[in-house]
Amino acid sequence: MSRRNLNQPRKGRGALSNRSSRYNATSVEAFDDGWESDEEPEKLRTEVFRDPSRSIITYNESPDIPFDRSINPFKGCEHACAYCFARPTHAYLGLSPGLDFESKIFAKFEAAERLVEELAKARYKPAVIALGANTDPYQPLERKLRITRGILQVLHDCHHPVAVVTKSALVERDIDLLAPMAQRQLAQVAVSVTSLNAELSRRLEPRASAPARRLRAIRTLADAGIPVTVLFAPVIPALNETEMEDVLGAVREAGAQAAGYVLLRLPLEVSEIFQEWLSVHAPLKARHIMSLVRQMREGKVYQSEFGTRMRGKGIFAELIHKRFTLACARLGLNQRRLELDCTQFIAPRPSGSQQSLF
């Protein structure tokens, strides 16, 4: 009997395995005893759980990101991107950052209600909220659950500024909220475009919108008067890095006003998950890619220091930065900084409050 590869790709999934998290007392790993067949692995269905969080806004003091608060409607992400830096967060739930992260999703069903409560507090001071800084607010489940839609409705009604981050064309659904907010300098959208190669995108980001569909969403948003920034992220050396100038040119033509990039980040369990992905989907490039990653991380797979984690160090990292800067200048990207307006905020009145009686 022929031996099969235990870590075969599953349709619509990015991770190849479900390795135990760093917090588990025991480690579980698949083993082929010779009795299994060569059949394709069983399709993995998505399970949805209720997230019990009592607060919805997460605050941070990171000096290398342009916001101090964010909202993530979901824990885990069906987009199943093999490189996702958020995967290790599933370890806090006692689950694997591998297949569990993309198939066991925790949804914040009461997000809109919790947001009203937090914005209504007397001590709350408005500042731009990043919607989807960790996991995508427009992942496939959102089409049915409409949690992100509810959050945006609250922010719209309160005249609260928001910056949406997504790689899904589903964001077009909420243009009726985002467009009037943008007219009041209260909204902008950042769309992640990793590659123009549909086949690479399908393998790297199985359930995210195809590249052509993202470009069309950028055009639709821009035509509606919504400022669009494009994130060329992550930059993976020798895999998608060579597409940088082509991606920037395509998104500029589609109507994007600004662009940014983030170097591949492989914290904790993500390193093994991504290298496992490389061994199957890019075996001839795997060693070269990881060699370049280490060259930009001072010999390490990852560096978590502020200011370094997003850009890396060394000659190759400097070359990427120079290429990006020159391309943006040539294309007219990043010509002006868009500032969202925090002065229009009107605190909501939670249902049942004394104020609502008058």
Q: Which helix (H) or strand (E) holds 48?
A: strand 47-50
Q: Please tell me the predicted confidence (pLDDT) of residue 356.
A: 43
Q: Model confidence over 139-155: pLDDT tens digits?
A: 999 999 999 999 999 99
Sites in the chain below the pLDDT cut of 50: 1-5, 31, 33, 35, 355-358
Alpha carbons 275 and 272: distance in angstroms, whole number: 5
Contact 231, 248 (CB under 8 A): no
- 43 vs 12, 189, 264, 275, 338, CA distance in Å? 9, 33, 28, 22, 44
Instruction: Tell me the two tokens of residue 260.
Output: 């940014």
**Contact indicator for 136, 77 with CB cutoff of 8 Å:** yes
CA–chain centroid gap for 188, Å, is 16
What is residue 162's predicted lDDT score, i.e. its pLDDT?
98
Distances (CA, A) of 258 to 179, 214, 218, 276: 18, 15, 12, 34
Alpha-helix residue ranges (DSSP H) falling in 282-314: 286-295
- H or E segment and range at residue 144: helix 142-145
Residues in CB range of 31: below 8 A, 6 or more apart: 6
Q: At what angle do helices 286-295 and 315-331 cross, to 10 degrees?
A: 90
pLDDT (tens digit per residue) in 10-19:
989 999 999 8
For domain 47-264, the CATH class is alpha beta
The encoded tokens of residue 300 equal 């390490």
Lay out the sheet containing 69-71: strands in order across. Answer: 58-59, 69-71, 129-131, 162-166, 187-192, 228-235, 258-263
**115, two tokens:** 């947001």
Sequence letter at residue 243: E
pLDDT at 39: 56
187-192 and 228-235 as β-strands: parallel, antiparallel, unpaired?
A: parallel
The token pair at 72 is 């993530």
Q: At what angle do helices 175-183 and 147-158 cross, to 10 degrees?
A: 30
138 by Cβ neighbours in 10 Å (0-12 / 13-18 / 19+) ranks as: buried
Q: How far apart are CA 184 and CA 42, in angstroms?
A: 49
From residue 302, alpha-carbon distances to 268, 269, 350 in Å are: 9, 11, 44
Q: Which two tokens stand for residue 186?
A: 């209260």
According to the model, what pLDDT value does residue 120 have? Answer: 97
Q: Which of 197, 83, 89, 205 shows the shortest CA–CA distance to 139?
A: 205
Whole-number Å distance between alpha carbons of 186 and 97:
34
DSSP 190-227: EEE---S-HHHHHHHSTTSPPHHHHHHHHHHHHHTT--
Task: Provide the pLDDT for residue 97.
Answer: 97
Sign of CA dihedral 120, 123, 127, 132: negative
Domain ranges of the chain: 47-264
Helix (H) / strand (E) containing 140: none
H/E element, 58: strand 58-59
Q: How many CA atoms lie within 13 A of 103 on its CB side?
A: 18
Residue 147 to residue 154: CA distance in whole angstroms: 11
